[in-house]
Amino acid sequence: MRSGDIATLELKSIDWDRDVISIIQRKTQQPLELPLLTAVGNAIYDYATQERPASSCTALFLTWNAPFGGISDEAAWRASESIMNALGIRQEKGDRKGFHISRHHLVTTLMGNGIKQPIISAIVGHVNPRSIETYSYANHTNLKDCALSIERFPVSLEVFPDAEI
Judge whether 36 and 49 are in contact, CB under 8 Å. no
The residue segments making up the domain with residue 86 are 1-95
Pair 102, 70 in one domain? no
For residue 7, tell me if it sits in a domain.
Answer: yes
Q: Give the per-residue pLDDT at 157.
A: 62
The amino acid that residue 4 corresponds to is G
Q: Give the per-residue pLDDT at 133.
A: 75
The pairing of beta strand 20-24 with beta strand 31-35:
antiparallel
Pair 77, 113 in one domain? no
Q: Give the per-residue pLDDT at 105.
A: 83
For residue 63, tell me if it sits in a domain.
Answer: yes
CATH number, domain containing residue 26: 1.10.443.10
CA distances from 72 to 20, 75, 130 (A): 23, 5, 30
For residue 157, tell me if it sits in a domain.
Answer: no
What's the structural domain count of the chain? 2
Instruction: Using 70 as the pLDDT threshold, list the residues of the chain that sit under it.
Output: 136-150, 153-165
Q: Give the per-residue pLDDT at 147.
A: 64
Helix and strand counts by DSSP (H, E) for the chain? 6, 3
